[in-house]
Amino acid sequence: KKMALQTLLAIDECDVILFVVDGREGLHPIDQHIADVIRKNDKEKILLINKTEGMQHEIVAADFYSLGFKNNLSISSAHGEGVGLLKELLVGFNQDGSDPQPIVKGAPKITIVGRPNVGKSTLVNALVGEERFIVFDQAGTTRDAVSVDFDFNGDRFILTDTAGIRKKGKVFETVEKFSVLKTLAAVESSDVIILVIDSSGGIATQDMHLIGFILETGKSIVIAINKWDSVSTYEKEAIKNDIDLKLPFVNFAEKVFISALKETGLKGLMSSVIKACESSSRKFSTPQINEVLANAILSHQPKIIKGIRPKLKFAHQGGLNPPTIIIHGNHLTDIRKDYVRYLETFFRKAFNLVGTPLRVELKNGKNPYQDENDKVKKTGLVTRRRRIDDFRKKIKERKLARSSQ
C-alpha cells in the first residue's frame, strides 16, 4: 500500500511517465490496471515494451495495443537496444529547454545514516515535509541511497536517505549486499552526516562502529537521538549517562534529542547541521594559527623523548573538510599521539569549531618560509662583516696617514 503511495506521488511530480511492460511475458492483467491509473493523468506517457532484443516491434507491440498508448517503443534495457531512440523522444518533451537538473548545485549535502529501523526515512520525510520515502517497522526497508533537495529557512540542502547498516566482524553489512556500498559512498560524498540513534535501544556497539567509520572519513557529524517520544523520563536520564560514558571520543559532535515521528527537535537538529557545515569549511589566518599554537605549547609542552624535547616551530592551514593544521618543527617523529590529540582539541576550542573533527599533521624539518629568513640573515651577516672590515680598513688608513704626517 505504502509503495503504491510512493508511485502515485512520483507520478504527480514528474513530467513524463515511462510505463515499462515485459515484452517476453506479454500483457499481464496488472498492466491493464496500471494503465488505467496512468491514463487518468494528463502527463506525457511512453509505453516501453522491454526485453525485446531480437524481436520485431510490430509483433510485440500488437499484444499491448489494448492499453491505448499513443507513444510506444520496444526496447532492451539489458542490451541497450532502443535506448537511443528513447533519449531522443525524451529530449523532444523538454520543449522549453529548461535545465533538467532539479538538484541545486553547491547546496550542502546532508546524509542520514544509522542502524536499520532507527527512523532515518521518517526523519527525511519530516524534514522535507512530505512522505517521500517508505517508512516501515522492519529492518531493511530502505535499500538504496536516495537524495532529495529541500528548503530550510530559505537555504537549500541536499538530503540523502540511506539503507541502515550494521557491522558484522570486520565488515559493514545490510539486508542487501550492494546497499552497504551505496551508504558508504553517500557518506564519502557528503558535507555533514546525521547519525540517527534509536533511544529506545540505547547506545549500541553498532552505533559506535558507525561513528568510528564516520570519524575516519573526517566528515562533520551531528548525532540525532531519535524516538525521544517513546522513552520514559528514567530512560532519558540513562541514555544521557550512556552518551557521556560511551561517546567521549566524539565530544565535539552536538547531540540532539528528537522525535522524527512527532516532528520535535528538528529545528535544533538543523541548527547543529548548519553549525557543523560552517565549521568544517572555516579558514584561519596563519598568524591566528601560530598564536594558538604558542598558547597550546605554553600551557602544555610536548614530553622530552630520548633526552630531546620536540620543537613545534611554525603552523599553517593545510586544508578544509576537515580543517587541517600542519605544524613544522624538529624531532616530531616521536611525538606522542595523545599530545597530537591535545593539540587538536586545543585548536578546535580556540577556533570554536562545532561538529567537525580537526586534524593536526606534523612535519619534520624547516618551515617552508625558513629558507627565505635564512637568506636574509646570511646576507645581513656578510654585509655586516664587510662593513666592519671596511671600517677597520679606514681606521688603518687614517692611522697610516697620521703617522706619515
Ligand X SMILES: Nc1nc2c(ncn2[C@@H]2O[C@H](COP(=O)(O)OP(=O)(O)OP(=O)(O)O)[C@@H](O)[C@H]2O)c(=O)[nH]1
Q: Which does 230 bind (CB under 5 to 8 A by kind): ligand X, Mg ion, none?
A: ligand X
Q: Minimum CB separation from Mg ion for residue 291, in Å?
A: 47
Backbone angles phi, psi at 388, to 5 degrees: -60, -45
Q: 16 in helix, strand or coil?
A: strand
List the single partner that 148 binds among ligand X, Mg ion, none, CB under 5 to 8 Å by kind: none
Nearest by Cα to 252 from 279, 289, 227: 279
The dihedral through the CA atoms of 274, 276, 280, 282 has a sign that is: positive
Task: Pick the closer one to ligand X by CB: 128 or 135.
Answer: 135
Nearer to ligand X, 228 or 339 (CB): 228
Measured between alpha carbons, how far is 279 from 352 in angstroms, rounded to an integer? 8
301 bridge partner residues: none
Q: Does 230 bind ligand X (CB under 6 A)?
A: yes
Count CA atoms closer than 13 A to 317's CA, side-chain side: 20
**Footprint of Mg ion (CB under 5 A):** 120-121, 141-142
Q: From the list Mg ion, ligand X, none, pick the one residue 206 interacts with, judged by a Cβ distance below 5 to 8 Å according to partner type.
A: none
- Residues 319-358, one symbol each (x = binds ligand X by CB under 6 A, - = not), give ----------------------------------------
CB of 117 to Mg ion, least distance (A): 8
- Which of 53, 140, 242, 345 lies at the binding interface for ligand X (CB under 6 A)? 140
Looking at the Cβ atoms of 147 and 280, the one nearer to ligand X is 147
Rg of the chain on CA atoms, in Å: 32
CB 364 within 8 A of CB 333: yes
Does 206 sit near ligand X (CB under 6 A)? no
Q: Residue 261: which of ligand X, Mg ion, none does it interact with, CB under 5 to 8 A by kind?
A: ligand X
CA distance 386 to 39: 97
Does residue 302 have a cis peptide bond before it, meaning omega lies within 30 degrees of 0?
no
What's the DSSP call for residue 61? H
CA separation, residue 342 to residues 299, 304, 339, 381, 388 (Å)? 11, 16, 5, 40, 49
Q: Which does 211 bind (CB under 5 to 8 A by kind): Mg ion, ligand X, none?
A: none
Q: What track of x and - describes contact with ligand X for positions 85 through 124 (by CB under 6 A)?
A: -----------------------------x-xxxxxxx--
- 136 contributes a contact to ligand X by CB under 6 A: yes
Q: What does the binding site for ligand X look like in residue numbers (CB under 6 A)? A: 114, 116-122, 135-137, 139-142, 163-164, 226-227, 229-230, 259-261
